[in-house]
A = this chain, B = another copy of it.
Amino acid sequence: MLMPTSLQKPSSNETRSGRRSEAPPDAPPLARAIEVIGVPMTYAGNCEIYGEGEPADHLYKVVRGAVRTSKVLADGRRQIGSFYLPGDIFGLEIGNDHAFSAEAITDSKVLVVRRSTLVGLASFDSTITQEMWKLAGRELARIQGHILLLVKNAQERVVSFLLEMADHTPEGRPIELPMSRQDIADYLGLTVETVSRTMTALDRDGAIHFLTAHSVMVRQRSALARLSA
């Protein structure tokens, strides 16, 4: 069904102790700021991080795990807006309220900062403002890319999705797909069956090779990319 099997509240508000190995000192100020002042939170799989319609006054950065943003339409269908993997920043909605809700896909750890805190910081460091604009720009570009995705055929959509996920993985390593086939289907505007069949076909044709249902090797990304136009 569409309902997640469990939608519990955050499992724990993690202690702030411990090493913050992420974010090298030469990282951009915004990322640095989030590392320094962000409050770590952990969420179990399928746990809601924020809901559609709630005021958007926090910014989040994925440390571990994976997050999806989604929206349930009037007729019950679900549309997934984006997947966010470690290092990605999400929660930036320029309106006052979140248009999509966000849920942890697997057990996840995120850093949370108040939007107002960042706005305050921005008045000291104007590069933070610039970075907020850049972030908004990336978000815009991402969504525009999603539109272009949705007018392609099934194989092109699936391949585009795999290549997006590949961007977060060093060449030569298997690509991890933490989300379910249903999540992928709702992201691509297809059904689970079509996603599954398409992936099977790609595997059979040698374009990709599934190690498990959630781990796939791409031999030549450039070759795969030719199937996504």
Interface residues of A, Cβ cutoff 8 Å to B: 71, 73-75, 77, 79, 81, 93-95, 99-100, 133-134, 136-137, 139-141, 143-144, 146-148, 150-151, 189, 229
Contacts and interface: CB of A to CB of B under 8 A. Distances in A.
Contacts of A147: 79, 81, 143, 146-147, 150
Contacts of A143: 140, 143-144, 147
Given A73-B148, A77-B151, A136-B136, 15 more contacts: A73-B151, A73-B229, A74-B229, A75-B229, A79-B148, A79-B151, A94-B136, A94-B137, A95-B141, A99-B141, A100-B144, A139-B140, A146-B147, A147-B150, A150-B151
Contacts of A150: 147, 150-151, 189
Copies of this polypeptide in the complex: 2
Contacts of A151: 73, 77, 79, 150, 189
